[in-house]
Chain A
């Protein structure tokens, strides 16, 4: 497959692995946090930990949009379906995320709720057009990558006068989360470098992380999602760490620029405004870390249309997702991992999405060891 195979070459991987072994100083331990779930997925899918020397370790970050969505917001969505009989359109990842009281969207659907899995905001608009007598709500989640399409949908709905369409906005912002992680890390000093977001950075630009890097003296390398990208970025981080430098470097130059996508940024600024504060599962309330629909487009805001209350969701006792998301604990440190919490029956959000650290550990590496030949 063109533009993909080039970045999955085993031969190049071996050369990069040799370079990493050469550059990683034996007396040193390198803890590299990959911010995004997409990186976590690639690391396990391609078996990267095996290719790294023992003193280079990947630590999984909070960049899995499904994982950081607080359960109260899913409770909200379930209430919309149950109490207001709306058609709820959602990305597939969200279906199995545990909500309070052992509920999930999948269970709400089985109980008769009209919940539809969509691939894009366009599908949600089409459903709204086809069902003029029903209220259609798009459950918008994700970082800056998925935000512009939501903005386009809201603008489109207004242009068409699509009065039965609204958006339950849960879009969150990456830099505040990174700042929080680094601030926490300043106390525990567990992370030596960060593999920065890839698709998010195509929108916001690598420049968006510069204040953070300066404030916390932390090396950051914007890394693509292909396995060679991840390895190359790890090498770049190791070089920065060895040299005692801290800068935002960009490995993903084939799509990421320093400025990012100006058009998408303008669109986001037009349709959304920053919330004063927002809850992140595992990280708590982070100031200015999420978006709400701006006043001009308030008519399409499901939270206002249905007067949705703030719900404090309940988490399963003993679930270590919060500290896994901060890179403090590993999935295998959790007593629920693999015992009561499995992908079949997830207790915490990190076990649901294939980008969640727990699900990745479970699916790809739970008994990591070479197969007997």
Chain B
């Protein structure tokens, strides 16, 4: 079957742009879907062309998660909005200890957006999906008028299945539990900031954007009793620890010296007046587990490519105020608070 014959001319990916007809439901949209989206994301479900993808129910508890991606810039060192949209949702599903099975993707495109860039993004998404072995089985495209979007917004939804005997949730941390972190913090946020128009500083920092379900599977296998998993994305490690502390009704005490930060990230944060604890990550996880499991889990994490710099960063304590505190490398203590809003640069 040669689908190309259905359209008089091939989609002009090189020089063309998105226009309102690409969202109209007509021939132009069909061509965009076929020659760009399906060509890259190709799989049996998409090829069926039905309104809904069908698959048999999995044995076990299922989880679903959805995530909208509105990142600026769309392309950054170490990834793009397409790969990020795949990793972000896979990771959210994986944080339940689940094996992600299927993804859906919804695109909101701005009129005038170059098709060449859209193809790069969809190709990035397809590559990420292939590497993670989690197919995108359903999708949707809408086009908004110029000025009413920011190029491309992508919302992905993922579903997965939780292995027997695994029950991971944010409210299960208990005093005495160990807190593990899978690697360096702040890489994604600094990589993205480094290429924002008004900042543009030179750095070799790359986003850590990566799918964590493989690492999670190995962790869950050796320690099915893991209590909490969460990926410290927006708001960084500090926000994630606070969320877990609040949900579980406990306090936390972490050691500054044990939290890995790449030297380039630390330097960029120092210059910009940011605290790496609050900078976003896209390929890291925080794990709370029984202290007895901590060392074994740590060795399993370190054996994985995505957990080589994993560390036990602290432990859960009883605290009626649910505070997260840090013992500074300097020997004092400070509260690691939630941010009031966006982290603002300091003046001097």
Contacts and interface: CB of A to CB of B under 8 A. Distances in A.
Contact of A51 (B198, B199, B332, B337): B332
Nearest to B261: A1
A92 interface: yes
Given A8-B329, A46-B328, A371-B251, A343 B319 contact: no
B330 interface: yes
B331 interface: yes
Interface in A63-78: 65-66
Contacts of B347: 65-66, 91, 93, 141-142, 146, 353, 355
Grouping DSSP codes into helix (H, G, I), strand (E, B) and loop, the B interface class, with mixed when no group exceeds half, is: loop
A286 interface: no
B340 A342 contact: yes
B157 interface: no
B348 A353 contact: no
Interface string B327-348: 0111111110100110011111
Contacts of B344: 92-93, 95-96, 117, 354
A110 interface: no
B323 A370 contact: no
B325 interface: yes
B321 interface: yes
Interface in B253-303: 253, 263, 266-267, 270, 272
Interface string A218-238: 000000000100000000000
A10 B175 CA distance: 27
B219 interface: no
Given A91-B345, A141-B347, A373-B317, A46 B266 contact: no
A215 interface: no
Interface in B230-267: 251, 253, 263, 266-267
B323 to A, nearest CB: 6
A145 B335 CA distance: 29
A146 B199 CA distance: 18
Contacts of A48: 330, 332
B108 interface: no
A8 B330 contact: yes
Interface in A97-116: 106, 116
B318 interface: yes
Interface in A324-373: 342-344, 353-355, 362-368, 370-373
A324 B346 CA distance: 20
A276 B253 CA distance: 52
Contacts of B263: 1
B198 A355 contact: no
A118 B197 CA distance: 11
Given A47-B333, A50-B333, A371-B251, A65 B348 contact: yes
Contacts of A372: 175, 251, 317-319
Interface residues of A, number: 55
A96 B346 contact: no
Nearest to A43: B332
A143 B347 CA distance: 10
Contact of B333 (A106, A118, A370): A370
Contacts of B337: 343, 362-364
Contacts, number: 115
Contacts of B345: 91-93, 117, 119
B317 A371 contact: yes
B333 A123 contact: no
A46 B333 CA distance: 7
Nearest to B315: A373
A260 B318 CA distance: 51
Contacts of A46: 328, 330, 332, 334
A287 B227 CA distance: 62
A47 B319 CA distance: 20
A357 B201 CA distance: 31
A208 interface: no
B318 A47 contact: no
A170 to B, nearest CB: 12
Contacts of A51: 330-332
A44 interface: yes
A4 interface: yes
B251 A13 contact: no
Interface in A1-44: 1, 4, 8, 10, 13-14, 17, 37-38, 41, 44
Contact of A50 (B198, B267, B332): B332
Contacts of A66: 347
Contacts of B332: 46-51
Given A13-B331, A47-B330, A119-B198, 16 more contacts: A1-B267, A8-B329, A47-B332, A47-B333, A50-B331, A51-B331, A92-B344, A119-B345, A145-B348, A146-B347, A343-B340, A354-B346, A355-B347, A363-B337, A371-B251, A373-B253
25 contacts: A4-B270, A45-B328, A45-B334, A46-B330, A47-B328, A47-B333, A50-B333, A51-B331, A65-B348, A119-B199, A119-B345, A142-B348, A146-B347, A353-B347, A355-B346, A362-B337, A364-B334, A366-B335, A371-B251, A371-B319, A371-B325, A372-B251, A372-B319, A373-B253, A373-B317
